[in-house]
């Protein structure tokens, strides 16, 4: 990834590296071929449309209003907590973790470690 790439292309490249080109394509509602061509710099379709879709799907907000805590949390903190192992040693943390598993802000592609 180079710093001269547009933000949306960096996000798409990162998502494809993290999962696969096919899974990234499904997330942004494009075909695997279109995403592959975009990553190679050979996509001839409407790049502005693809950019809008990639940014809408892959760019996370800086903070999320946690419905359980009624606080704004950094997005990374929210996602880290929701994907960690169940905190069975702490009943209060366990209630929070359970709420996270059903939360609207939990990314669908995240899985527990």
Q: Domain ranges in the chain? A: 7-58, 63-101
Strand partners, 54: none
Band of residue 70 on the pLDDT scale cut at 50, 70, 90: very high
- Over residues 5-32, the pLDDT tens digits come to 898 999 999 999 999 999 999 989 999 9
pLDDT score of 109: 53
- Over residues 91-111, the pLDDT tens digits come to 999 999 999 999 888 866 555
Give the residue among 36, 42, 38 at the shortest CA–CA distance from 50.
38
pLDDT score of 80: 83
pTM, two decimal places: 0.55
Checking if the pLDDT of 56 tops 90, the result is no
Question: Encoding tokens for residue 91?
Answer: 């009943």
Band of residue 3 on the pLDDT scale cut at 50, 70, 90: low
């Amino acid at each position: 990834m180079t710093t001269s790439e547009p933000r949306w292309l960096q996000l798409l490249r990162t998502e494809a590296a993290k999962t696969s080109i096919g899974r990234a394509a499904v997330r942004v509602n494009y075909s695997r071929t279109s995403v592959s061509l975009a990553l190679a710099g050979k996509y001839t379709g409407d790049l502005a449309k693809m950019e809008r879709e990639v940014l809408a799907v892959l760019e996370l907000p800086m903070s999320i209003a946690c419905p359980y805590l009624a606080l704004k949390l950094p997005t990374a903190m929210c996602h880290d907590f929701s994907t960690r192992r169940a905190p069975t040693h702490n009943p209060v943390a366990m209630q929070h973790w359970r709420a996270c598993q059903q939360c609207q802000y939990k990314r669908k592609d995240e899985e527990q470690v």
